[in-house]
Structure 1
Amino acid sequence: MTQTTPTPAAHSGPGRLITFVGGDGAGKSTLAARLHQALNDAGHRAVLVGKNSTTAADPGLSDYLDRLNTLVYRRDTRVAQACGDHYWLLALAAWYTLQDRLVIQPALAEGTHVVLDNSPHKILARYAVNPGIDPRLTERVFAHLHAGDLVFFLDLSAREALARKGTFTSLEAGHDAGGDEAFVSYQDTVLDQIRHQATAGGWTHLNVGRMDRDQVFKAAATTVSERLGLHL
């Protein structure tokens, strides 16, 4: 059987930004990767951007991005605790700022669609429940980032997420040593904040606890086609 290359889909103007929000274990990365593949298979130009996406057009800038990513995401617990919450909030804001400026915005400007796996909304929710951080500061340091054209909220309870994940990091439990219940308690608190953001932002809500992976993808693909005109 002869294989044919999909004809590029007609598109004019800037690309569209599609983002995913949800608690740890909700399936954001799985859905983002599958949707990115489907967009490319349908002939759309699309890139997948996540917390380790450090490629910019300029090799020197890519190198700088990679070094910043190493500082922000590849750190040990002792360093994280010593530096404190305000430092990490601003370090994360620096990372998202450069990812937005050097990777996302150039792609959108050239008509390439961006699938953003690791959106900053979960960071906003985590700091919103941190009593040591003024929530107005958190909102301000992320306010300049490019807003998503379509935001999916993958809603999954913390207990269901724990059953899927099996294990979790100290960060995912709010640095509480209380075991599984600490994870559930912290994640439920963060989810309440995400749900508030979802209501205020008019995000597309997917109750993924009642859906298998194929159903989640089908619902997301239908929404992309209907809302953005990107047929899959």
Structure 2
Amino acid sequence: MTNAGSDLSTRGREITVVGIDGAGKSTLAARLCEALNDAGHKTILVGKTTTDVPMDPELSAYVDSLNAVVYRRDARVAQACGDRYWLLALAAWYTLQDKLVIQPALEAGTHVILDNAHHKILARYAVNPDVPTELAEQVFTHLTTPDLVFFLRISAKEALARKQGEFSSLETGHSGGASDDFIRYQDTVLTKLSEHEQRDGWLSMDVTDMDRDAVFKTAADALTEHLQLSV
């Protein structure tokens, strides 16, 4: 999963965490970033609120303005714009973050822990009959290929329990407000993510019966084994 032509002796590594809502992605991503830095590996955590472009306040302000359009929007406006618009808006957001934040960090030898990667977007659009799957895949193909992808596997029912029954309309695919709607939609997304796992060689972790410490230890051991990054 390493980018071809990169100098592995100096290049940073991109480690991505994927899974359905409630799988524990953000918790693991933050802990891995902290542990890598504590171990002397310069690392940044990149998520959907990351808008800082180092040493460039003008670009930072522009990235933040795009983030506001994509993630800080009014729900009524979101519905009015439609799914195709939001696919392209999300593609623009991921493109800018990749070009202005992720790629420069990797080239400078800084490792990147990526939370909220585009794979879940692809999975959601794969179950959307109004948008061609080929279009959704095409608009993200240029993004940096991760060196390692952790796929946190968990059933939608267990994920809902971890979220204590609280979820947004987006987490049901705007299909309804009942727990069954969340479970049905997230199980469908999980199936689509599993297809990416098999095709792209992700590292699958069944986290159903694992506490946070066990998840972290498993991931940390994998960093040592696959990327020679000890934490």
Query: TM-score range with shorter-chain normalisation?
Result: over 0.9
Alignment partner of 2:208: what SS?
A: helix
- Alignment partners' CA distance in 2, 1:80 and 1:160: 29
2:162 is matched with 164
- Separation in structure 2 between the aligned mates of residue 146 and residue 203 of structure 1, nearest angstrom: 15
CA distance in 1, matches of 2:212, 2:142: 33
Distance 1:119 1:178 in 2: 25
Local SS of the residue matching 2:205: strand
Matches of 1:12 and 1:60 in 2, distance apart?
A: 32
The Cα of 1:12 is off from its aligned counterpart by 3.7
Aligned residue number for residue 185 of structure 1: 184
Paired amino acid for 1:206 = M
Residue 25 of structure 1 is matched in structure 2 by 22
1:44 matched residue in structure 2: 41
Question: Contact between 2:18 and 2:25, CA under 8 Å: does it hold in 1?
Answer: yes
Q: Does 1:96 align with 2:94?
A: yes
**1:34 equivalenced with 2:34 (yes/no):** no
CA contact (8 A) 2:31 2:216 kept: yes
> In the aligned structure 2, how far is the partner of 1:117 from the partner of 1:81?
25
Alignment TM-score, normalising by the size of structure 1:
0.94
2:81 counterpart letter in structure 1: C
- What is the DSSP-based 3-state SS (H/G/I as helix, E as strand, rest coil) of the residue aligned with 1:20? strand
Q: How does 1:105-184 map to 2 (within 5 A)?
A: 105-165=103-163, 166-184=165-183
For 1:38 and 1:231, the matched residues in 2 are separated by 9
Q: Judge conservation of contact 2:169–2:177 (CA < 8 Å) in 1.
A: no
**CA apart distance, 1:77:** 1.2
Structure 1 segments unaligned to the other structure (5+ residues): 1-10
Name the % identity. Answer: 64
Structure 2 CA distance for aligned equivalents of residues 78 and 208 of structure 1: 35
Give the counterpart of 2:78 among 80, 85, 90: 80
1:220-231 equivalent positions in 2, closer than 5 A: 220-231=219-230
Work out the number of aligned pairs and report it: 222
The one-letter amino acid of 2:157's match is R
Aligned match of 1:210: 209
Q: Give the match's secondary structure for 2:150.
A: strand
Which 5+ residue runs of structure 2 have no aligned equivalent?
1-7
Aligned to 2:50: 53
